[in-house]
Amino acid sequence: MTLQQCRYLVEIARSKSISKAADALFVTQPSISRAVRELEDDLQITVFRRTNRGVAFTGEGLELLSYAQIMIEQEENVRHHFSKSAKDGLLKLSIASQHFSFAAEAVSRLIGSLDTGRYELAFMEGKASDVVRQVASGLSVLGILAVSSLNLEYLERSFLAQSLSFTPIAALREHVFLRREHPLASADALSVEQLADYPCLTYRKNDPPQNFAEELSDLQNSSRIVYVQDRGTMDDLLVHTDGYNIGTGCMSPGFISPDIISLPLAVPWKIQIGSLKRNGQSLPAEALLFIEYLSAAVYRAMP
């Protein structure tokens, strides 16, 4: 099993298509197909099956994929160890997160602690599936996610297949974000039915709703949905419309508009905020420090 074959498998899993993987890696499709066949012959397994939606990894294929990701990660670690940037004392750290104000607060505190030396810090905000993909591929050393009973089973299978581990930080009741002057702002708690006539502002698009849903309530029946990509736009629309967003309810002072409030959503479950990393990986000291800042920021911002 070669590193090149590992790269092929990881890219096929990411793009769910051999042809798209070939384009991304600047190789021909026959080259990738041949490399996968040779791998299957060598290991006496079937890695994936072609479907009308692309490719679907078998159980053994998913196990092999996890090993491939580990091998690529180890290669990256070796390269980094002997790279010029490492010798020059350049710290490189990438963290992926869903759109949480408390995560941005933790990053700001981390930056404040890195006032000496050279560093490149990446804070990648995105959908839940983006966070999982970033960590699984090794592009980010750490991910910050919200998990609930609605998507826990799916996510646990995904984590297992990709050799990832999720560590809870806090359990929270699901909340609704809306503006202070919203018609529903005076309520003590809100139901899904009360929200039906208002625009649903969401970060999720193209993710299976019951798998990587950003809004963990069943809001599929909403007839008014607005998709956004960043927290700045979300805050602006919340402040200037009667739209709402479902989330943790955490309000980090200075990192979310004071014109926005959060109210409990009347649902029976809780959500868990936690960190995601690859199994067997030792986190650098800076990542561990970030988790400390994150935990403190979450508890300060809890409703």
82-169+271-301 and 172-270 have identical folds: yes
Residue 214: pLDDT band (50, 70, 90) is very low
For residues 73 and 243, the model is more confident at 243
Whether the predicted pLDDT of 260 surpasses 60: yes
Contact 188, 294 (CB under 8 A): no
Give mean pLDDT, residues 142-166. Answer: 85
Q: What is the fold, at CATH topology level, of the domain defined by 3-68?
A: Arc Repressor Mutant, subunit A (1.10.10)
User: For 100-109, 222-231, 233-242, 268-277, which range has the lowest pLDDT when averaged over its residues?
Assistant: 222-231
Distance CA(95)–CA(76), nearest Å, equals 16
Cα dihedral: 239, 243, 245, 246 (round 10) = 130
Give residues with Cβ within 8 angstroms of 82, minimum separation 6: none
For the full predicted model, state whether its pTM sits above 0.75.
no
Which pLDDT does position 94 carry in this prediction?
93
Give the CATH class of 82-169+271-301.
alpha beta
> Hey, where are the domains in the chain?
3-68, 82-169+271-301, 172-270
Per-residue tokens: 187: 């309520």
Give the CATH class of 172-270.
alpha beta
Q: How far is CA 10 from the centre of its chain?
A: 17
Q: Which residue shows structure tokens 């294929």? A: 61
Give mean pLDDT, residues 68-91. Answer: 71
Instruction: Produce one character per residue of 154-176: b if its CB has 16 or more CB atoms within 10 Å, e if not.
Output: ebeebbebbbbebeebbebbbbb
